[in-house]
Amino acid sequence: MKKFTLTALLLASTVVYAQSSTAKKDLVAKILILQQPAIEQTAQALVERPAMQLHQQAGLALQTRVAPEKREAAAKLVQEDLKKYVDEVGPQVRQQAVKLAPSTIGALLEEKFTEDELKQLIAIIESPVNRKFTQMGGEFQKALGEKLIVQTKSVVEPKVKALEQAIVKHLGLPPAPDAKASETPAKSPKK
């Protein structure tokens, strides 16, 4: 009789665990669906980062190594190549990120959150207030960015120019035309 009771308890606990595990997996899957735009955005940022770096490097090279009459055409070609790269690679990386999400983010959610916590998380994510707050993210960044630029321009601009001049010097490149003018003290006109 004891053996039968023990076996029945073991079987019942296994069924409860399997149901709980399935319910938890379903909750995690729902969170991943709700978070898919953020997952895709992360992937897109990874794709765009090297393009932005190359764009900056190309901009510097255009100013220092390309004849003025050829700059506009070269800049257009560079821009087209960068766009082509982002357009081709972006969808592939976003798709792979969505595919990897269950084994990465999903695994962490299952490991670190209880079933009840996952339900609470879904309620927060689906909350109209949270959606409104999330949608305002761009406005928040713009408002802060505009004020931050105005407030820090006098500190940042001279530092950026000094950094640019130092980099040009380290690379052994000729200084930009406006940099030469600022290095030579202006002579006061004779009366």
- Domain map of the chain by residue range? 2-135, 143-168
Q: What is the dihedral of CA 128, 134, 139, 145, to 10 degrees?
A: 150
Angle among Cα 29, 31, 33 to the nearest 5 degrees reads: 70
Q: Which residues have C-beta within 8 Å of that of residue 59, sequence separation ≥ 6? A: 75
Task: For residue 4, give both structure tokens.
Answer: 């039968």
**Taking Cα atoms as reference points, which of 37, 31, 51 lies closest to residue 97?**
37
pLDDT > 60? residue 6 = no
CA atoms within 13 A on the CB side of 169: 8
Q: Which residues have C-beta within 8 Å of that of residue 138, sequence separation ≥ 6? A: none
Task: For residue 70, give both structure tokens.
Answer: 């050829």
In the three-class reduction of DSSP (H, G, I as helix; E, B as strand; rest coil), residue 175 is classed as coil
- pLDDT tens for residues 157-184? 888 888 778 877 776 777 766 544 444 4
- pLDDT tens for residues 58-103? 888 888 888 889 888 888 999 999 999 999 999 999 999 999 999 9
